A and B are shown apart, each in its own frame.
Chain A
Amino acid sequence: MIKDITIGQYFPGKSAVHRLDPRMKLLLTVLYIVMLFIAKGFLGLAVGIIYMLAAFLMSGIPIRMMLKSVKPILPIIVFTGFLNLFFITTGDPLVEWHFIKITTGGLKTMVFMASRIILLIFGTSLLTYTTSPITLTDAIERVMSPLKVIKFPAHEIAMMMTIALRFIPTLIEETDKIMSAQKARGADMESGNVIKRAKALIPILIPLFVSAFRRAEELALAMECRCYHGGEGRTRLKQLKTAPRDYVALAVTVLFIVAVILLNRFLPI
């Protein structure tokens, strides 16, 4: 039931992609984005497609989940696609009708841009599908920790994310309870126009906020009792360790980027 909701979009598994060091996965994702953005031609893009295909097949993530990840971005893809199609007028004309003019250049750009955006979404989704939110938080803290010298609050941000993740299910459960309680008192939350329904949320939000503040106070006390005093001098139970496979993955990724650069130079189509 409501207790079983998954946070984020993590898809548990034991594949090679899942087992990569999360810090390395973060780095690889950034490198992949770079790869996509430096590719100038379709051949370069094809390299990106091959890379994605390989990672996807290794991860064991169902194809339907990958497709689902693109859905929210679809309007943007369609919109930019139309812009590219109608407003780029390089290359040979294909269709000319009144003021509408479609050229091969426009068509090419449309396909190119759309593929790039889709690959971008695939890449970042694969990261969040194969890495649990908590591991990701951990990785972000560690990757960011050098920034502590310039007073960047890496530990604090990670701590807040962890606590948020920890309390999401608790608060959802609580919302459920409050809703039932208010419904039992005759609150009507399903009918009426938008304003009416928004107003019906007030008797749910207020108790929820009050309880969240009370929880926050108690949690802070419990943390203090357990010697919490910020990130200073803190050790961790789980040390992240890079394994040979992390470096293999890095080397392969770098090779792909080199391939893209070479294609850009010698076969920019």
Chain B
Amino acid sequence: MEKFIEIKDVSFSYINDYDDPPTKNTVLKGVTLDINKGEFVAVLGHNGSGKSTLAKLLNSINLPESGDVFVDGMNTRDEDKLYDIRRTVGMVFQNPDNQIVATVVEEDVAFALENIGVEPSEIRKRVDWALKKVGMYEYREHAPHKLSGGQKQRIAIAGVLAMQPKCIVMDEPTAMLDPIGRREIMQTITELNSEGVTVVLITHYMEEAARAGRVVVMDDGKILLDGAPKKVFSQAELLKSVGLDVPDVTDLTHGLIRAGIDLPDDIISEDECVERLYQLLKKE
């Protein structure tokens, strides 16, 4: 597999200038992580564990205090590559309202392309393409503030997608959405990933993480667990000790196992759980 993002022993601190004397809050403590091209990585961790800080290292918003971050071979410290890096790694945030710049949907989607100086005819093409990708083409002339949360978030994704990034980093994109909005976004994400876009999804929803190809668990600025969702979620005790949960189905199966029912301990999807239980019942 081809390495796409390399995070090499990175530490990061916020300096708090308002305190006297200024205090240093070390948020990342020697993080090493490789992400391969086309992967779908979910990042979990309790509040303040450094997930957003890590995400901002991936497109030069934050620069590492020590260590290096490479994106598609470019060092994020390289100022000449700043806009190349930001085009390669698109970023979507939690609150869709605070990411939309323009008063017309299509103009917002065009924003990034306008910034990097793409030709108007090419902008048109890519805006239409991106809007179709997220299923919002019919709304291109609408005012964003009249759309639903899920629709607004899809516009924000389209705005990033228009840059044709190789990787999209999403920082809790579904946190402010209702279940319908969440489903829409998850569908868009999995579709993009299946087309080869590398996805890094920061989330607090275990069900979303279970759909990723790989789960990274952060605790107190370090990587605690890293592996396939099945492997990670089977360690329910460890996860609970750092303030995280496992998907409801996993919780359920673990309870059933404790009650003496013969089930594997790495079930993470409802379908799989239903299937296993059905097999069991049929045997009896």
Given contacts A134-B103, A170-B97, contact A239 B114 (CB under 8 A): no
Chain B CB within 10 A, most for which of A166, A215, A219: A166
Q: Tell whether B111 is near chain A: CB-to-CB under 8 Å.
A: yes
Given A169-B145, A224-B86, A225-B90: 12 more A-B contacts, CB < 8 Å: A134-B103, A134-B107, A162-B103, A166-B100, A226-B115, A226-B160, A226-B163, A229-B83, A236-B114, A237-B107, A237-B113, A237-B124
Q: Tell whether A187 is near chain B: CB-to-CB under 8 Å.
A: no
* B103 and A166 contact, CB distance less than 8 A: yes
In the complex, what residue of chain A is closest to B85 when comparing beta carbons? A227
What bracket does the count of chain A residues touching chain B fall in? Answer: 20 to 34
* B115 and A215 contact, CB distance less than 8 A: no
In the complex, what residue of chain B is closest to A164 when comparing beta carbons? B103
Q: Tell whether B27 is near chain A: CB-to-CB under 8 Å.
A: no
* A234 and B120 contact, CB distance less than 8 A: no
In the complex, what residue of chain B is closest to A234 when comparing beta carbons? B114
Chain A residues with Cβ below 8 Å from B112 are 226-227
Within 8 A of A (CB), among B85-131: 86-87, 90-91, 93, 95, 97-104, 106-107, 110-120, 123-124, 127
Please list the residues of chain B having a beta carbon within 8 angstroms of any beta carbon in chain A: 59, 61, 83, 86-87, 90-91, 93, 95, 97-104, 106-107, 110-120, 123-124, 127, 143-146, 156, 159-160, 163
What's the nearest-Cβ distance from chain B to residue A221, in Å? 7
What's the nearest-Cβ distance from chain A to residue B143, in Å? 8
* B86 and A3 contact, CB distance less than 8 A: no
CA distance A239 to B123 in the complex (A): 11
In the complex, what residue of chain B is closest to A228 when comparing beta carbons? B115
In the complex, what residue of chain A is closest to B156 when comparing beta carbons? A222
In the complex, what residue of chain B is closest to A173 when comparing beta carbons? B145
CA distance A218 to B100 in the complex (A): 10
Pick from A214, A223, A234: contact of B101, CB below 8 A: A223
Q: Tell whether A238 is near chain B: CB-to-CB under 8 Å.
A: yes
* B145 and A239 contact, CB distance less than 8 A: no
CA distance A222 to B94 in the complex (A): 11
CA distance A258 to B170 in the complex (A): 61
CA distance A237 to B119 in the complex (A): 8
Within 8 A of B (CB), among A205-245: 214-215, 218-219, 221-229, 233-239
Within 8 A of B (CB), among A16-70: none
CA distance A234 to B145 in the complex (A): 25
* A215 and B98 contact, CB distance less than 8 A: yes
A-B contact pairs, 18 of them (CB 8 A): A3-B146, A162-B103, A166-B101, A166-B103, A166-B144, A214-B98, A215-B95, A218-B93, A218-B99, A221-B93, A223-B111, A224-B86, A225-B90, A226-B90, A235-B114, A235-B118, A235-B120, A237-B114
Q: Tell whether A163 is near chain B: CB-to-CB under 8 Å.
A: yes
CB-CB nearest 3 A-B residue pairs: A237-B110, A226-B112, A218-B98
Chain A residues with Cβ below 8 Å from B119 are 235
Chain B residues with Cβ below 8 Å from A226 are 86, 90, 111-112, 115, 159-160, 163
What's the nearest-Cβ distance from chain B to residue A137, in Å? 9
Q: Tell whether A165 is near chain B: CB-to-CB under 8 Å.
A: yes
CA distance A59 to B114 in the complex (A): 32
Pick from B87, B98, B104, B123: contact of A235, CB below 8 A: B123
* A227 and B83 contact, CB distance less than 8 A: yes
CA distance A3 to B145 in the complex (A): 8
* A219 and B114 contact, CB distance less than 8 A: no
* B61 and A225 contact, CB distance less than 8 A: yes
Chain A residues with Cβ below 8 Å from B120 are 235-239
Pick from A3, A134, A166, A218: contact of B95, CB below 8 A: A218
* A222 and B103 contact, CB distance less than 8 A: no
What's the nearest-Cβ distance from chain A to residue B86, in Å? 5
In the complex, what residue of chain B is closest to A138 when comparing beta carbons? B107
What's the nearest-Cβ distance from chain A to residue B247, in Å? 29
Given contacts A225-B61, A234-B114, A234-B115, contact A215 B97 (CB under 8 A): yes
